[in-house]
Amino acid sequence: MDFTIFYFSATGNSLEIARKIAKELGDCSIKPMTAQVPGEPVGGPGESVGFIFPVFYNGLPRLVKRFAERLVINPGTYCFAVANSGGTRANPLGMLEDILFRKGIRLSYAEEVKMPGNYIVGHQAPSSEKVRQILGDANVKVDKAARAIAGGERKPVIRKAELWSKITNRSYLYKNINKWDEAFLTTGKCTGCGLCTEVCPVCNIKMEDRRPVWQHNCERCLACIHWCPCEAIEYGKKTVRRRRYHNPNVKIADIKRGCSCENI
């Protein structure tokens, strides 16, 4: 069976999961959802298509939702998905399956994995010790999922809190989203390196007078905050003195390679 994994990763968690699963699958290509949606249908009998992504506000990130809606999948495809979050009892996998169902596709295998939470606008990132513990537990679960997917096992979506998840995702992720990035600011630590423009998955940041300026098309992924080498980016006062996080097994060059403006 040929495998293709589409992933979205801002701080590296989803990319690490994608790599681990791909290693087990063998003949597997990994492609970022930030790239152009394939112009030709994907999958079909004897082929498998996977989706690996973080949970945003109890549901799908906008970028993931748009990608899944635009992707054309051939009938008979074994589809799998792994959603990762800091811990939630929500319905992101059900939301993805709802999109696929309109294409005549169901998720053959669906799994959730707890990874270090990084939404520091709302809460503190875990300590280094806690990160190691969470990643260790996640590795066990991802390895098990990878073996199951390689063997073509079936694990249907377990839908949880569907209405609550739908309301939360729409109300908080999409509410005033065009204005949400107005609260970003840079401190005197900023060196004007421009790295934030390179890790933004939707090219929402431009440099003006050696300072980043957000363009009001934010995905709310916080890649800019977490990867800033000087910790010079804040979201108002909410992130001041909070730990930054990015997956310790993923390099910034990997994130930069996964970013593209082609799909905007």
Give pLDDT tens digits for 179-191: 999 999 999 999 9
Task: Tell me the average pLDDT of the chain.
Answer: 94
For the segment 208-261, what is each residue's pLDDT rounded down to a tens digit? 999 999 999 999 999 999 999 999 999 999 999 999 999 999 999 999 887 765
> Does residue 263 have a pLDDT over 80?
no
Average pLDDT over residues 42-65: 96
Burial of 18: CB neighbours in 10 Å, binned 0-12, 13-18, 19+: buried
Q: What is the pLDDT of residues 24-50, one digit of tens each?
A: 998 899 999 998 899 999 999 999 999
Task: Walk me through the domains of the chain, giving residue ranges and CATH numbers.
Answer: 2-168 (3.40.50.360), 178-257 (3.30.70.20)
- What's the CA gap between 246 and 117, in Å, rounded? 10
Sign for the CA dihedral angle at 68, 71, 72, 74 comes to: negative
- CB-CB neighbours of 33 under 10 Å: 24
The DSSP call for residue 11 is S
The reported pLDDT for the residue numbered 152 is 95
Q: How far is CA 18 from the centre of its chain?
A: 11
| Residue 177 β-bridge partners | none
| Residues of the chain above pLDDT 90, percent | 91
